[in-house]
Amino acid sequence: MDTLFLEYRDPIFGIIIFFAIVFIIAFLNYWWGIFKSKEERYSIERFMKRFEVMADADEYKKLLDEFSISSESLGLLAHSYSKSGEYEKAIGIYLIALKRVRNKDEKQYFLFELGKTYFKAGFLRRSADIFMELLRLYPRHKEALKLLTVIYEQLKEYQRALEVMDSLEELGVEVESEKSFVKALQVLNDNSKTNQKKYEILLDLTKKEPLVGRILFAFAKKEALRLDIDLIDANNILDLLWESDDALIKNSSQTLIKAILAAKNGGEAPQDAPFELEMLTMLKKQNYTKATVGFEYTCTCCKGTFPVHFYRCPSCYTLKNPHISLLLIKNEHEKYYAF
């Protein structure tokens, strides 16, 4: 019995007990970590599952009470939904996140993302309302102001778009091109002006901003008004020129227009004519008529390519003449390229 008592007091025994306790604490800590991460994962999974069938605002409230997912996680989740085009789910999550924001910076972030998602989903009016609320808190938010101009432009509320552009100008943002473009759209939609007056204003705007040239050309063509075609860079209206009557474009001094006329009617293609037009001219000489040209439009900013013309890039919303590429195609396919 004495021997056993002495062994309990042995220093080595104390060291063994100490290491055993350290080991048990480390093991429990490790196990708790695994348990917590699993719990968190299941919690998010359950949350997402609930969201799929969520139908009304009461469900959002239940979620808020039930789950303790951080606003950062909600932001990431909403962002991934928005990126994959599931805007409804993204909007729902941003709305939840907005109810639990802790500071003004978070509120600014979630309001902007919510407005942007409404915009992408096509809810222009709601998006404008969200951005107005954001600008009430942060009047110098340039990105919100820029998107607001696009929204008003799409809603055909041109005067409002111009007012927002004035605010951007005050913040040092260059908006001259945008202003001329919106003024051109405003004039086109103004029923109080005669066609002659519209033509004169569009002509003035074209001299200031080449982007308006295409609007002027389309307007003059539609209303059968005389126009000096060389006021407009042919590269920006290549597709419209291809579809135009020869009489409208025959007096041009631009190489590209001469190349188009040669490709359509035969004759000599000018030097520096685009390859596709030169080929068509040569084929025309051989009486081969099964070839024609199609067009493709590339944003000079984000390099996105689209089959139809745009002034404002559908992907990055940059307002700039796209690069128009010629495509040599079979004549029977021509009907698919409607301009």
Positions in the binding site for Zn ion (CB under 5 A): 299, 301-302, 304, 313, 315-316, 318
Burial of 320 (0-12, 13-18, 19+ CB in 10 A): middle
Who contacts 2 (Cβ-Cβ below 8 Å, separation ≥6)?
none
> Closest Cα to residue 39, out of 74, 69, 60, 72?
69
Least distance in Å: CB of 217 to Zn ion?
23
Q: What CA–CA distance (Å, rounded) separates 278 from 2?
A: 112
Burial of 225 (0-12, 13-18, 19+ CB in 10 A): middle
Least distance in Å: CB of 151 to Zn ion?
17
Q: Are 318 and 299 in contact (CB under 8 A)?
A: yes
Least distance in Å: CB of 321 to Zn ion?
12
The residues with which 325 forms a beta bridge, in sequence order, are 296
Q: Are 143 and 137 in contact (CB under 8 A)?
A: no
Q: Please say which residue, 107 or 309, places its beta carbon nearer to Zn ion.
A: 309
Handedness of CA 24, 26, 29, 31 (dihedral sign): negative
The SS3 call for residue 307 is coil
The token pair at 148 is: 């607001």
Least distance in Å: CB of 313 to Zn ion?
3
Q: Please say which residue, 134 or 147, places its beta carbon nearer to Zn ion.
A: 147
Q: Please say which residue, 21 or 316, places its beta carbon nearer to Zn ion.
A: 316
Q: What CA–CA distance (Å, rounded) separates 238 from 256?
A: 8
What residue type is 27 in one-letter code? Answer: F
Q: Please say which residue, 144 or 299, places its beta carbon nearer to Zn ion.
A: 299
Least distance in Å: CB of 319 to Zn ion?
10
Q: Please say which residue, 121 or 301, places its beta carbon nearer to Zn ion.
A: 301
Least distance in Å: CB of 305 to Zn ion?
10
3-state secondary structure string, 207-227? HHCHHHHHHHHHHHHHCCCCC
Q: Are 309 and 322 in contact (CB under 8 A)?
A: yes
Q: Please say which residue, 65 or 174, places its beta carbon nearer to Zn ion.
A: 174
Q: Please say which residue, 108 or 318, places its beta carbon nearer to Zn ion.
A: 318
Least distance in Å: CB of 116 to Zn ion?
16
Least distance in Å: CB of 302 to Zn ion?
3
Q: What CA–CA distance (Å, rounded) separates 35 from 46?
A: 16
Least distance in Å: CB of 130 to Zn ion?
23
Q: Please say which residue, 240 or 313, places its beta carbon nearer to Zn ion.
A: 313
Q: Report residue 297: phi and psi, to 5°.
A: -120, 125
Q: Please say which residue, 203 or 299, places its beta carbon nearer to Zn ion.
A: 299
